[in-house]
Amino acid sequence: MNSLSREQISSAARIVVKVGSSSISGDNSHQIAPLVDALAAAHARGAEVVLVSSGAIATGMPYLRLSDRPTDLATQQAAASVGQSLLISQYQNSLDRYDIVAGQVLLTAGDLENPTPRSNARRAMDRLLDLRILPIVNENDTVATHEIRFGDNDRLAALVAALVGADLLLLLSDVDALYTRPPDLPGAERVSYVASGDSLPGMEFGSTSVNGVGTGGASTKVSAARLAAAAGTGVLVTATTLAAEALRGGGVGTWFEPAAAPFARVW
């Protein structure tokens, strides 16, 4: 895998896109269709596309009559069990417009930490992509425990990017880019480029946030971006609403330069 430059984003051959719960569930469920439009456009030009999508718990919550994200593991597992199939159905209904078939891939942290299941996952993903299937990956929340979880799907996406040897990882959220401090605070400045190995001194991310439906924040995206970039994958962090422009190579978001000599191991 040759390191991708920002100017080459529109020609990336293998792409992993991660979207969070808050971007595609509840009042924002209408964003699934334009996200699929962006993925389909990349697929149509020949790119191999993997989607890492949060949202199973958030999608299942209304069916369990829950207004807030559950905090106990058993209810999270129940909500994920109900929501995962509904989430995949929503994506497939939208992908049908482009005659693209989705394949569901559910992973746990243990699957990627252990050589045999990791090899099995890589083989399955490679075959799905060879068949022009669009894998949709999520953490297997129904069987995961607090002790063996990715923590957030940003990290899962970075590990999946390393697993499949992706050229590009696109991390999507509700914010258009990374900022030197939370963007609602005075003095926040947009960061457009992060060089390989840059420790981002002086940046204030705040604590990891947990909103009504999802987990994560700027700090988790930075950690995931560094992990993927160290493995040789270029990373772009931007808003879900800018996914199409991002995949076309538009000057949006924050670009993390991939390492010229990537680490052999990220596990």
- Residue spans per domain, the chain: 6-256
3-class SS of residue 187? coil
Binding residues for ATP: 18, 173-174
Q: What pLDDT was estimated at residue 147? A: 43
Q: What pLDDT was estimated at residue 2? A: 67
Q: What pLDDT was estimated at residue 267? A: 61
Instruction: State which residues of the chain have pLDDT below 70.
Output: 1-2, 144-151, 201-202, 205-216, 261-267
Question: What's the Cα-to-Cα distance from 6 to each of 60, 85, 89, 127, 232, rounded to whole Å?
Answer: 37, 35, 33, 28, 13
Binding residues for substrate: 54, 141, 153
Binding residues: 18, 54, 141, 153, 173-174
Contact 199, 140 (CB under 8 A): no
Please, which residues have CB within 8 angstroms of residue 70's CB and are 6 or more apart in sequence? Answer: 57, 61, 64, 76, 79
Ramachandran sector of residue 105 (left: φ over 0; alpha: ψ -120 to 50; beta: rest): beta
Contact 227, 199 (CB under 8 A): no
Q: 6 φ, ψ to 5°?
A: -60, -35
Which pTM value belongs to this model?
A: 0.91
For residue 179, the tally of other CB atoms under 10 A from its CB is 20
The structure tokens listed for 132 are 């022009």
CATH number 3.40.1160.10 is the correct assignment for the domain at 6-256? yes
Please, which residues have CB within 8 angstroms of residue 258's CB and are 6 or more apart in sequence? Answer: 3, 4, 196, 228, 229, 232, 233, 234, 235
Q: What pLDDT was estimated at residue 201? A: 66
> Angle at the Cα of 21 (from 234 to 169), degrees rounded to 5?
10
